Amino acid sequence: MKNTITIQEQHYKELKNHLIQDDGKERAAFIICGRSLVNGNEERLLTREVHVLSEKDLLSSERYQVSWNNNHFIKILEKAESKNFAVVIIHNHPENLNHFSSVDDNGEYHLFKLTFNRNGGNGSHGSLIMMSDGSLIGRVWKPDLSNEPISKIRIIGESFKLNYPERTSSFISPEVFNRQQLAFGSSLVQDLSKLKITIVGAGATGSSTALLLTRLGIGELCLIDKDTIEESNLNRLHGATMKDVGKYKVDVLQKYIKEIGLGTKISVEKRWVSDKECIDQLKTSDLIFGCTDDHAGRILLNRFAYFYLTPVIDMGLVISVKEGSCELQNLQGRISYLFPGSDCLVTKGNIDMDIAYAENLKRNEPENYKKLKEEAYVIGEGNPSPAVVTFTTQIATMAVNELINRIQGYNMQALNAPHKIFFFHRGMEIHPENVSNNECRICGMKNYWGRGDMNPFLDMVL
């Protein structure tokens, strides 16, 4: 079982400003975290609230030691208790000692003994150390007061940063990624090899995305789609041949990606994204690509990004012609990078609630759907929409470049634009304004950010 943590970028900045100061002293802070558990696979902590310990809260603050009055800590435990949240303690090592000292071991043992005695529960709590360059190491404490290292620390916001114990500036990238390393350096190659990415939808944009991510050197991919290949898909489905008609899209893609032979770990789910198996895949991913036309699926991914602090790069393409003719009316693509700090797809009007309702009804109550459709109470599927491989592939390429930019930062200016719309027939690109402080329950209020596991899932009744 892996232990990992995801830190909201705004929390990281607050912690760094507090902990790393010119006087070179040790300081401390507490973090309240939501939890995400996939049994036997990963326990992930998700930051929600930072409480820094000011000078007056400390009993001592020196070069090698920091101590505080436990009354302050007990208030944090009280806050965490009601929703079974985890508590993480963070301090800095001004001398850059990159492991926990015996003083840390002893202090934390007593701190977490108090924590488990008071709050109970089977979930872990954690501790982090920040070096003077801002890099982090960590470990979790278990109910039996043993501890285990945190194998991955994600910092997510406008950019996406990773910390893991093996991360090194002297990483030698495999020969196959040599040319990519020449452009962006070896640490990007190493970071990409550490990522698990789930792609929801394995159609035109999903198959493009999957193949691009494979050749970029992403370590692990999961593909979710329950559709089979039809002949009319072959004009835009990468990796599929005429012989594959009738087979599952994800099976064909998986076989193709394995044959490329870059060592990509790959799993597939032939299910709806809301099925438990798919949810577990999402919960163990570092990032998700939304490549579905399905509005009900988008509602789920849209919430997931904020609840689980897992960025979603959603993409869409609209091609329309004037009725009864072949005259092009619209040729428009969109990519959205969803994270706590961006407007969500509901706020931006990219999800049609009526269509989502009809899709859910068709899935869960097919008889009822049929009846209501005949009576024209729900929206039925219309005629097939136009699709051209060059544009579906282009929008997927832009979405994958969005990922590279969020990690590597080759175009820093574009980082503050979560939504990008491309009018291909007019040669125009616009970046809709990000409306912070809106009234949306998902992206406007911070209550759900890092909430993690709860009942009902995503606070949503399907």
Q: Does 442 bind Zn ion (CB under 5 A)?
A: yes
Whole-angstrom Cα distance, residue 128 to residue 130?
Answer: 7
Binding residue (CB under 5 A) for Zn ion from 360, 443, 448, 449: 443
Binding residue (CB under 5 A) for Zn ion from 254, 347, 393, 405: 347
Site for Zn ion in 357-416 (CB under 5 A): none
Interface mask toward Zn ion for 303-332; x: CB under 5 A: ------------------------------
- Min dist CB 95 to Zn ion, Å, is 44
State which residue has the least CB distance to Zn ion. 440
Identify which of residues 336 and 347 has a Cβ nearer to Zn ion in the complex: 347
Q: Does 440 bind Zn ion (CB under 5 A)?
A: yes
CA neighbor of 336 nearest in space, from 319, 311, 356 = 311
CA 316 to each of CA 77, 204, 388: distance values in angstroms, whole numbers, following the listed order = 44, 11, 13
Identify whether the C-beta of residue 118 lies closer than 8 Å to the C-beta of residue 129.
Answer: no
Q: What tokens appear for 195 in the block?
A: 């990522």
- Min dist CB 347 to Zn ion, Å, is 3
Pair type for strands 28-38 and 86-93: antiparallel
* 14-21 contacts at long range (C-beta below 8 A, 24 or more positions apart): 14/50, 14/52, 15/50, 15/52, 15/90, 15/130, 16/130, 16/134, 18/52, 19/90, 19/91, 19/92, 19/130, 20/92, 20/130, 20/132, 20/134
Pair type for strands 125-131 and 136-141: antiparallel
- Min dist CB 443 to Zn ion, Å, is 3
Q: Does 147 bind Zn ion (CB under 5 A)?
A: no
Select the span of 49-57, 240-248, 414-422, 435-443 touching Zn ion (CB under 5 A): 435-443
* Burial of residue 3 (number of CB atoms within 10 Å: 0-12, 13-18, 19+): buried
- Min dist CB 399 to Zn ion, Å, is 20
CA 214 to each of CA 263, 273, 361: distance values in angstroms, whole numbers, following the listed order = 9, 22, 35
Identify which of residues 259 and 433 has a Cβ nearer to Zn ion in the complex: 433
Identify which of residues 89 and 156 has a Cβ nearer to Zn ion in the complex: 156
- Min dist CB 348 to Zn ion, Å, is 8
Identify which of residues 198 and 302 has a Cβ nearer to Zn ion in the complex: 302
- Min dist CB 419 to Zn ion, Å, is 12
Beta-bridge partner residues of 68: 58
Whole-angstrom Cα distance, residue 269 to residue 276?
Answer: 11
The alpha helices in 120-200, defined as continuous H runs, are 178-184, 186-193
Identify which of residues 144 and 439 has a Cβ nearer to Zn ion in the complex: 439
- Min dist CB 309 to Zn ion, Å, is 16
- Min dist CB 262 to Zn ion, Å, is 37
Identify which of residues 400 and 443 has a Cβ nearer to Zn ion in the complex: 443
Identify which of residues 77 and 156 has a Cβ nearer to Zn ion in the complex: 156
Residue in the structure block whose two tokens are 């790393």: 20
Sign of the dihedral through C-alpha 174, 178, 184, 186: positive
Select the span of 67-75, 160-168, 238-246, 347-355 touching Zn ion (CB under 5 A): 347-355
Residue in the structure block whose two tokens are 């990624």: 177
Binding residue (CB under 5 A) for Zn ion from 188, 344, 395, 396: 344
| Count of positions on this chain that bind Zn ion (CB under 5 A) | 6
Interface mask toward Zn ion for 115-144; x: CB under 5 A: ------------------------------
CA 365 to each of CA 313, 359, 370, 462: distance values in angstroms, whole numbers, following the listed order = 30, 10, 9, 12
- Min dist CB 154 to Zn ion, Å, is 22
List residues near Zn ion by CB under 5 A: 344, 346-347, 440, 442-443
